[in-house]
Chains A and B, each alone.
Chain A
Amino acid sequence: AQSVTQPDIHITVSEGASLELRCNYSYGATPYLFWYVQSPGQGLQLLLKYFSGDTLVQGIKGFEAEFKRSQSSFNLRKPSVHWSDAAEYFCAVGASDSNYQLIWGAGTKLIIKP
């Protein structure tokens, strides 16, 4: 069965520092990959997605992610975080045999130190 792992439950980063959030998936073929962000008490907003093509994808709010097939990873990065980036981040995977369902990681909570 497909699965998505976000190994870090919490990450604390100083404002202005770089960020990398990890996401690993388990699936044989190339999946459809997503990163969503959720502010406290809110719904989820799509940051970026990867279906095919260039393995480095750009998203909203200055985020990017890189698909690495050899590592089954889709890590999210930002060169310099702002206090407004404090939120929970979810990685999700869509597999071709999943009836268009998304399989969700457990999320990583990003804390920004002033």
Chain B
Amino acid sequence: DGGITQSPKYLFRKEGQNVTLSCEQNLNHDAMYWYRQDPGQGLRLIYYSQIVNDFQKGDIAEGYSVSREKKESFPLTVTSAQKNPTAFYLCASSRQMDYEQYFGPGTRLTVT
């Protein structure tokens, strides 16, 4: 079955450590997205990539970094510069020039 996988489901880190969240898709989609979700705030776009080796900042990119070396993979690194990293992170993908997005199950990151 095609879909998006995010691992791990839960992640715990100490403050000051960088952490990388995995996102892999086998839908052959060109575009991939990272969202952050906090209670009552809906989805906020962190980064997106429409083709391999290219990505753009979203609305809240500060303290995050991404790479897109392969079409299937779009890992997100939460750096120590991110002031409030505890949140639920969602990865999504879409076909080229298509608005419909498909979502992974999410990773809940807790930083203490």
Contacts and interface: CB of A to CB of B under 8 A. Distances in A.
Interface of A: 9, 32, 34, 36, 41-46, 49, 90, 94, 100-102, 104-107
Contacts, number: 47
A9 B40 CA distance: 8
Contact of A106 (B42, B48, B100, B106): B42
Given A41-B88, A100-B97, A101-B48, 5 more contacts: A44-B103, A46-B100, A100-B94, A102-B101, A104-B42
B99 A43 contact: no
Given A34-B99, A100-B99, A102-B99, A43 B105 contact: yes
| Residues of A contacting B: mostly | strand
A34 B31 CA distance: 18
A105 B104 contact: no
A104 B43 contact: yes
Interface of B: 4, 6, 31, 40-43, 45, 48, 50, 88, 90, 92, 94, 97-106, 108
Contacts of B106: 41-43
B45 A101 contact: yes
A101 B45 CA distance: 9
A78 B4 CA distance: 28
Nearest to B10: A41
Nearest to B9: A41
